[in-house]
Amino acid sequence: MEAIMTDYIIKMDLAKINPNPLNKQIYGYNPKEHKELKKSIELCGLLEPLTITKDNLLVSGHRRYKVLQEIGYDVVDCRLSDYENLNIALVELNRYRKKSPSELLNEAELLKTEYSKMIKKGRPKNGEKRVGRNWTILNVSERLGVSATNLKKLMSIKKYEPEMLDKVDMGLISIGKAYSIIREKYILNEKGAGRKPNDFRTEYRELLKKYKPSLDELVEEMNIRKSLSIVGSQSDMRIIGPYGEREEYDFYPTPSKVIQELLDRESFDGNVWEPACGKGHISKELIKNGYDVISTDLIDRDYGKSGIDFLDDKKIEEIGVQDNIITNPPFKFSLQFVYQSKKVAKKKIAMLGKTIFLEGVERYEMFQDKGFPLKTIYQFSKRPTLIKEGLESTEHLRGMIAYAWFVWERGYKGKPVIEWIK
């Protein structure tokens, strides 16, 4: 706050105090708030002093000031303060006040003006010192304690249909809904992108087009010039990408770095069984870290014991109960792998999965298990890229799917914890 606060309270004639006209411009008048505040002061008196400058300008307490006038106060307690910037101080002193969207916008516009005055462009000359910060939506939203996204939406609503902002203030329509209307009516049309009735295939192509820059970067890095295409019918649509169709059996091996991130954070007492081991990418890393590992897979990929369907109770009996399970299963069978792992793991289960694995009613029920509960979710901040057949490394690739390690521990007491892997 741009303020130098004194540590004493003075008595002041109410008639000598001058309200800041800017306060009414920003915050207006709310009859309901006024009535409630009046009732409070009549019952309890003035609990919080007014804040004034040495020139008797009221900086904080305009609603209290008005109520005190009506009640008939002559002398009131005031906190004397000095401020480098009265306008910013006015906003700062109202930080915790409940505000309407319109009032927030008024504050944002005031801060924009003040920030623009405080910072000059170009290099300082002759030892010139510059205080303050540049006007940006992030700086203002941070100062106001609101979402920059919502602030941008409110600005658009006010720009195109100010009367709709009144409806938002009254709670007749949400900010999101109002912005959607504004976007469809004005913003998209200005960009020459008005909505058109599309079939599923067209909308899917538009979605791909939206993310085309990222895909182009990926193609360039891999020196691959094949384009994405959609084949099949609407009911059986497949995506053909730079690397061809999706791998059979969802075979996407785990990069060593992704495995090591887990092992750096989680220890496993005893041996480890890796079902769906593929070519042993997880198993090999576990062995490097000193673990005794059992590796199995349904498919023969020249590693581990093949022909073991982990979802077949009779097949898992061939392996028997083990201390721990660590796996990167086919995503469509992730839930089944969790249930099956709980049958054969004595201590811990660690499964690499998409973050959206947290969603779904059936999965919710699974997560409620108190006997073998979820202990930790290690969420990757940067999206890793899993290895596709024919690729030795993914370090130069950018992932497009959010992944996390899900760790269950038998007998764990407490709520699941989320930790982030940078």
Encoded tokens for 35: 């009535």
Of 7 and 262, the structure prediction assigns the larger pLDDT to 262
Q: Return the pLDDT at 84.
A: 79
Give me the mean pLDDT over the 95-101 stretch: 78
Residue 98 has pLDDT above 50, yes or no: yes
Separation in Å, CA 371 to CA 77, 334, 351, 413: 61, 19, 18, 9
> What residues does 403 pair with on adjacent strands?
354
Higher pLDDT, 104 or 339: 339
Instruction: With beta carbons less than 8 A apart as the criterion, state whether 37 and 97 touch.
Output: no
Of the listed ranges 37-41, 288-292, 364-368, the least confidently predicted one is 364-368
Q: pLDDT band at 209, cuts 50/70/90?
A: low
Spatial contact of 55 and 81, defined as CB atoms under 8 Å apart: no
Q: Which stretch of DSSP H or E encloses residue 77?
A: strand 75-83
Residues 30-52 have a mean pLDDT of 90
Share of the chain above pLDDT 90, in %: 36
Cβ(238)–Cβ(245) under 8 Å?
yes
If you average pLDDT over every residue of the chain, what do you get?
Answer: 79
Q: Which of 24-28, 165-169, 212-216, 257-261 has the lowest mean pLDDT?
A: 212-216
Which DSSP helix (H) or strand (E) runs through 409? Answer: strand 403-409
Collapsing DSSP to helix, strand or coil, 369 comes out as: coil
pLDDT-based confidence at residue 341 (cuts at 50, 70, 90): very high
Residue 122: count other Cβ atoms within 10 Å of its Cβ: 5
Rounded mean pLDDT, 193-221 = 47
Q: Look at residues 299, 282, 278 and name the one whose alpha carbon lies nearest to residue 291.
A: 282
Least confident range of 141-155, 262-276, 295-309, 329-343? 141-155
- What contacts 112, CB < 8 A, 6 or more positions away? 135, 140
| Domains along the chain with CATH numbers | 3-98 (3.90.1530.10), 200-246 (no CATH), 249-421 (3.40.50.150)
Query: At residue 19, does pLDDT exceed 70?
Result: yes
